[in-house]
Amino acid sequence: MVADTTHYLPRELVELQGIHQVSLYVGWAGELERELDMDGFERFYERLRTDPELPSTSQPSIGDFLAVWEPLIEAGQDIVSIHLASGLSGTCDVARQAHGMLQQRGLGDRVEVIDAVTGAGGLGCLLLAAAASARSGADLREVAAHVHEARRAVNIRFCIDTLEYLHRGGRIGRAQAWLGSTLKIKPILSFEHEVTPVERVRTSGRAFEHLVQYMREMQSDGADGWAVQHIRAPDRAERLVERGREIYGSEPLFVSEVGPVVGTYIGPGGLLLAGIPLASVQ
């Protein structure tokens, strides 16, 4: 199984699940570095808060994909390669181009490229679903089918302090309509094909309670597996985890910090909730 780096699963979970990664790039003034090579995010986010220039992000190259896929194919493995929504990044399109090169060599049937139509924790949930299916003995097509089925059941919401980063980075999507508001709002959004507006509230407290209520709705709808992510907001994330334990009576699938590529467009203070039926990831 292969993914790009925008899932932000905890490193130990990535290793446990056998997930191979193709890195995206991020940096300032043309000095891009691989997200996979970044040792912690504190320095990056401190600069993001203060630098008037927004960093640049870049998808992997065709060569980056082949460098990860080819050794796996040579080792006899088939590959499900799952990637950030194509409405948010060109990563999946590049993966398809790399797949086309494998097809020319007669190896195309060894790789299945999937557009996750989500990112961050939503993508992370799909990777856990793919890993569970592979562990059950499913073949390549069966794993891919399971991922598509799981995607229909994935729920994701996130709240941010400001629309500034999405707007400056050109990833604002349909939330563009909120830019003209005279109110100081706390936007609540979803990762679909693009960033999708859900609701706007006036305070961080109300945004937090929206996520708590969404936990209850997810549980009622059968998404009894849940995960929490944040950007430079560990205390708020822990509070959300505590509320989740009360609601679900279980531990989260994972808790982690969103990294620089996606964080460039969300900004510090973001809090994210994802849900998926446990049956999909066990």
Backbone angles phi, psi at 194, to 5 degrees: -135, 175
pLDDT tier at 178 (50, 70, 90 boundaries)? very low
Is residue 228 located within the same domain as residue 213?
yes
Mean of pLDDT values over 97-110: 97
Is residue 16 located within the same domain as residue 143?
yes
Q: Is 91 exposed, middle or buried (0-12, 13-18, 19+ CB in 10 A)?
A: buried
Percent of the chain with pLDDT over 70: 93
Is residue 77 located within the same domain as residue 119?
yes
- Sign of the Cα torsion 98, 102, 103, 105 reads positive
Is residue 129 located within the same domain as residue 197?
no
Q: What's the total number of domains in the chain? A: 2
Is residue 146 located within the same domain as residue 201?
no
Least reliable range by pLDDT among 62-71, 87-96, 175-184? 175-184
pLDDT of residue 192: 78
Is residue 167 located within the same domain as residue 108?
no
DSSP 8-state secondary structure symbol assigned to residue 186: E
pTM over 0.85: yes
Is residue 47 located within the same domain as residue 72?
yes
pLDDT tier at 185 (50, 70, 90 boundaries)? confident
Q: Using alpha carbons only, what angle is made at residue 126 by residues 121 and 130, rounded to the nearest 5 degrees?
A: 145
How many residues would you count in the chain? 282
Whole-angstrom distance, CA of residue 44 vs CA of residue 27:
9
> For 72-99, what is each residue's pLDDT tens digit?
999 999 999 999 999 889 999 999 999 9
Whole-angstrom distance, CA of residue 188 vs CA of residue 201:
8
Is residue 166 located within the same domain as residue 146?
no
The CATH number linked to 77 is 3.40.50.10170
pLDDT tier at 144 (50, 70, 90 boundaries)? very high
Parallel, antiparallel or unpaired: strands 2-4 and 79-83: parallel
- Sign of the Cα torsion 134, 137, 140, 145 reads negative
